[in-house]
Structure 1
Amino acid sequence: MTIFDPSVQHRIMVCVTPQKSCERLIQRGAARARELGGEFCVVYVNKSQDLGRDLKEHKILLELFEMAKGLGGTVSILSGNKVYHTLAEYAKNNRITHIIVGKSLRSAFDVQKNGEIINPLIKAVENNGILVEVVE
């Protein structure tokens, strides 16, 4: 299932988590799409054990999705245990040209427990010529 217009050359994928700080990533994705004359989508990966998330986080996600739609983007919720793998597959399948991710605000312990996402994602998509932009 492709969500992009096949004639569009630049496809920007913005990766979000249920945090207010992701608004800046969506703004960056929308701006990049405008600059390049492309389209953008906002993607959230729901790991199966995350289904019981509290309503506050769902509310933040819904706000992020509304913001993305308001800026002309589309929204996708993906499922997968390995976040970077799920994102890389989606990017390849949808011929994404740019990925925008936020620098992790997670603790070192959380990264150790749940795994790093950014570096494995960059490695997973570099052979496809997909540019990964990490926003501070």
Structure 2
Amino acid sequence: MKSTASNILVCVTQQKTCERLIKKALEFSNDEDSLFIIHVAKNDWSFLDNEKEGEALEYLFGIAKSVGANLTVLRSDDIVDTIVSYSQDNNIDLLVMGDSKGDHSENYFYKALKSRLDKANIHVVPN
């Protein structure tokens, strides 16, 4: 049993399936912990015009609210840098993220974040 509170960050995309990442983060947390949820969209992504993506973000916002967390949506062309800054600003101890899709045999985001976040542990949830 942990004696000090932790700050847990969940990195989500604009997909309803990211609910599983939030649920995994809850498995790592206790009542004293703070849960943060972040989605970083590239500046040229127009997710609010896309009905499916807008619905998914609205759905994830509802999930976040139901577990006492805020869903923060930020715009940036450097997603890794934005997550690192947010993690440092909020003293994140544990970062929960999904596995990269596509032909990434090794998770680019994991490697990039791990090399820059010395304080936080990173847990990758397999697809």
Alignment gaps of 5+ in structure 2: none
TM-score (norm 2): 0.85
The answer to whether the aligner puts 1:69 opposite 2:74 as a matched pair is no
Matching of residue 51 in structure 1 with residue 46 in structure 2? yes
Cα offsets for 1:104-130 (capped at 9, x unmatched): 12x22xx6xxx932210111102xx11
Q: Give the match's secondary structure for 2:63.
A: helix
* Aligned-residue CA RMSD (Å): 1.9
**How high is the sequence identity, in percent, across the aligned residues?**
27
| Higher helix content, 1 or 2 | 1
What SS does structure 1 have at the residue aligned with 2:29? helix
Q: Is the 8 A contact 1:30 1:72 kept in 2?
A: no
Moved more, 61-70 or 44-53: 44-53
Query: How does 1:21-40 map onto structure 2 within 5 Å?
Result: 21-34=17-30, 37-40=32-35
Does the aligned pair in 2 maintain the 1:84–1:118 contact within 8 Å? Answer: no
Structure 1 gap ranges (5+): 1-7
User: Under a length normalisation based on structure 1, what TM-score does the superposition of the two structures give?
Assistant: 0.80
Equivalent pairs counted in the alignment come to 120
In structure 1, which of residues 79, 82, 90 is the aligned counterpart of residue 78 of structure 2? 82
Structure 1 outlier segments of 4+, above 6 Å: none
